[in-house]
Amino acid sequence: MARRSFVFGSTELLIVDGSPEGVTQADRRTIALDRVSGDLFVNSNGGTEWNEVVPVAEVRLTRATPQLITAGSPTPISFDGPDGPDPDGFWSALEPTRITFPKTGRYSGCASMAFAGNPNGQRMVQVILNGSEVLGVDDRESVGGSRPSIVTASYEGRFVAGEYIEAVVQHAAAAGLNVINQPGARTSFEFTARMI
């Protein structure tokens, strides 16, 4: 299912497979999608004036398979790609560990990772800007050997087009640990950015 958010003034519309979600039938006549260009337009006064709706720049990266992390070694997570459309080009297969900001502006997001169960040591995720500056961190003890330990770091700030962030994980278990997809947990293996 294709999902895309658009902002019109202070109103956000969520478009699901071409239909505005949460819009009543009476309001639908005020929304038009140019099927050639893909641009969305809103008629706010019922007259002849149509205004283009600007898409919200956002991305959610995921990974389908575990990634082995060596104990004590800070490691950027390599993602499979966006979970849905990426019209702004946040992600590139040539640099799969990065979210690159396509436009200068204010963004927020998070990195959420689940480490496989192991009773020993700390688990950590950091959001790192341009390979060096820590924007967000979550560092905690293991929750035990039978359950995954989930760590989530959030960030918010103003970024220049071309700057990039990475989700870097580390742990202090005695052996290597996988970062995994925890069944039933949507946020157990994701990295997000959204222009605000």
Residues 138-153 pLDDT 10s: 999 999 888 889 999 9
Query: What is the biggest distance separating any 2 CA atoms in the chain, rounded to whole angstroms?
Result: 68
Residues 83-113: pLDDT tens digits?
888 989 999 999 999 999 999 999 999 999 9
Minimal CA–CA distance to 84: which of 101, 100, 61?
A: 61
Task: State both tokens at 40.
Answer: 């969305």
Contact 107, 101 (CB under 8 A): yes
What pTM, to 2 d.p., does this model score? 0.75
Boundaries of every domain in the chain: 3-55, 58-195
Name residue 126's beta-bridge partners. 137, 168
The fold of 58-195 is Jelly Rolls (2.60.120)
